[in-house]
Amino acid sequence: MESNRILVLAPHTDDGELGLGGSIAKYCAEGKEVFYAAFSTCRRSLPAGFEPDALEKEMREATKVLGVKEQNIIVFDFDVRVFKEVRQEILEELVKLKKQINPDMVFVPSPNDIHQDHQVISEEGLRAFKQTTVLGYEMPWNNLAFQTSCFIRLQEEHVEKKVRALEKYKSQLHRDYLNENFIRSLATTRGVQIGVKYAEAFEIIRLVL
């Protein structure tokens, strides 16, 4: 698949880096135009002691590590955990992104992701980008099932950038899945499945050739 304009849809800041940070780093290094849209800055979920815009700042620092251009970052301020209540508004924003960016490939959370906000972005993303290849990224702590039907090969440098990017999320370092061992172990597991050192796995939701 030759895709030059790639759009990552992240329900919350950090979801894109967690789900496909290595692939983002790889695409940016190859000169692809990568766009990153975060739909919530999760102000209500921040630990005590952090400024309300902490996650947005951390996301901008993290995506910079991966190589995403500042002008390619789009941030919305939908409230966390209530995306289902504003589903139509989110769809309308997605349709605008389709017109503005016209991506060749879109990454969304897996359709099997049990987080309510992730489900909305997955479902509405599929509706908004009807003529576009759509891949679902994995977040094992949220996925009851995941079909590893697509793999992106990674090099050490891509995994290292993913680790360094996620370290920018100082407000989230208490999360079990944000530690380097987990990140490298998952990349190694997916690599073993296709006979390489590292990889990230995705579900093929729609493939347009």
Residue 82 tokens, joined: 């209530």
Give the pLDDT confidence score for residue 77 in this predicted structure.
93
Among 9-13, 60-64, 174-178, the minimum mean pLDDT is found in 174-178
Residue 148 tokens, joined: 């590893």
Average pLDDT, the chain: 96
Q: Report d(CA 91, CA 93) in Å as an integer.
A: 5
Q: Report d(CA 75, CA 118) in Å as an integer.
A: 16
Residue 198 tokens, joined: 């590292």
Mean pLDDT of 82-103: 98
pLDDT interval class at 149 (50, 70, 90): very high
Domain range annotation of the chain: 5-206
Q: Which CATH class is domain 5-206?
A: alpha beta
Give the pLDDT confidence score for residue 162 in this predicted structure.
98
pTM: 0.97
Query: In Å, how far are 32, 49, 61, 63 from 5, measured between CA atoms?
Result: 6, 38, 21, 16
Nearest-CA neighbor of 163 among 148, 141, 181, 150?
181
Give the pLDDT confidence score for residue 3 in this predicted structure.
86
What is the tens place of the pLDDT at every residue in 41-88? 999 889 989 999 999 999 999 999 999 999 999 999 999 999 999 999
Percent of the chain residues past pLDDT 90, beyond the cut: 95
Give the pLDDT confidence score for residue 15 in this predicted structure.
98
